[in-house]
């Protein structure tokens, strides 16, 4: 049984993904994350993405706090680590590269 190092939180937060899909088409789309951890998230999309590909993610208002402006957007590249069919959609698991989302806490291993 797979054990996660990070606790996943069910969250329906808006995320903007951009990159190149498995067909070589450049895309940008806004979706809702299905679950989120400090080091990644998953989304449901009709788009086909290749495992190990890199996708850019923007999570509005979840970045560092800017004095006088409030929270910035969380901007990060992520690697596609898993793709599972879910009916007509694909559940895409993404792992952040070089950053963590501070608003979610780690689970001890």
Sketch the domain layout of the chain as residue ranges.
Answer: 9-96
Confidence of residue 61 (pLDDT cuts 50, 70, 90): confident
Supply the Cα-derived Rg of the chain in whole angstroms.
Answer: 14
Confidence of residue 99 (pLDDT cuts 50, 70, 90): confident
Position 103 scores a pLDDT of 56
Q: Could you tell me where the beta strands, DSSP code E, fall in 21-73?
A: 26-37, 40-45, 54-59, 65-66, 70-71
Q: Give tens-digit pLDDT for 3-21.
A: 444 455 566 789 999 999 9
Higher pLDDT: 71 or 79? It is 79
Residues 26, 97, 21, CA angle at the centre, nearest 5°?
20
pTM summary value: 0.79
Q: Which of 40, 11, 43 is nearest to 29 (CA)?
A: 43
9-96: what CATH class? mainly beta
């Amino acid at each position: 049984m797979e054990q996660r190092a990070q606790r996943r939180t069910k969250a329906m937060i808006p995320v903007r993904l951009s990159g190149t899909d498995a067909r070589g088409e450049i895309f940008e789309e806004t979706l809702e994350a299905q679950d989120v951890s400090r080091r990644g998230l998953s989304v449901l999309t009709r788009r086909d993405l290749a495992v190990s590909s890199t996708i850019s993610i923007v999570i509005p208002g979840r970045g560092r706090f800017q004095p006088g402006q409030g929270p910035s957007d969380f901007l990060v590249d992520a690697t596609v680590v898993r793709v599972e069919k879910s009916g007509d959609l694909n559940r895409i698991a993404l792992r952040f590269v070089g950053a963590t989302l501070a608003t979610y806490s780690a689970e001890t291993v």
